[in-house]
Amino acid sequence: MRMLPILTLMMHTVPKGIEASMYALITASITISVNWGGDLMGSIVAMYLRIDANNMDNFKTGLYYKLFTFVISMAFIPLLPTNQEVMELK
C-alpha cells in the first residue's frame, strides 16, 4: 500500500510506451532501499557510532541522526509535482 501514491503519480507522468519499464525501475529501487539499503546503512551508522548490544552510550546520537535524515528527506517533498502540474503534462 505504501507504493500506491508513487505508482499513481508515475502513471500520470510517464510517457506512453515506457510504463512497464518505469514500474520495474521504481519497484526495484523501493525494494532495494527498504529491504537492503536501510539495514546496511543502519549497520554502518551503528558501527561508526560504536553502538552494539553491550554499549548503548551513543544510542541517543544515533536517534538524532535518524531524525536529521528524516527531516532532510521531508525537505524534498515540495519538489514533487502537484496534481495540477501532473494534469498539465497530459
Q: What does the alpha-carbon distance between residue 36 and residue 32 come to, in Å, rounded to a whole number?
A: 5
Q: What is the pLDDT of residue 16?
A: 76
pLDDT 10s digits, 3-59: 777 777 777 777 777 878 888 888 888 888 777 887 888 899 999 999 999 999 999
Q: What does the alpha-carbon distance between residue 45 and residue 63 come to, in Å, rounded to a whole number?
A: 10
Torsion of CA 53, 56, 62, 64, to 10 degrees: 140
pLDDT(1) > 70: no
Task: Place 60 in a pLDDT band, splitting at 50, 70 and 90.
Answer: very high
Our count of domains for the chain comes to 1
Q: What does the alpha-carbon distance between residue 63 and residue 67 come to, in Å, rounded to a whole number?
A: 6
| Structural domain range at position 62 | 4-89
DSSP letter (8 states) at residue 55: -
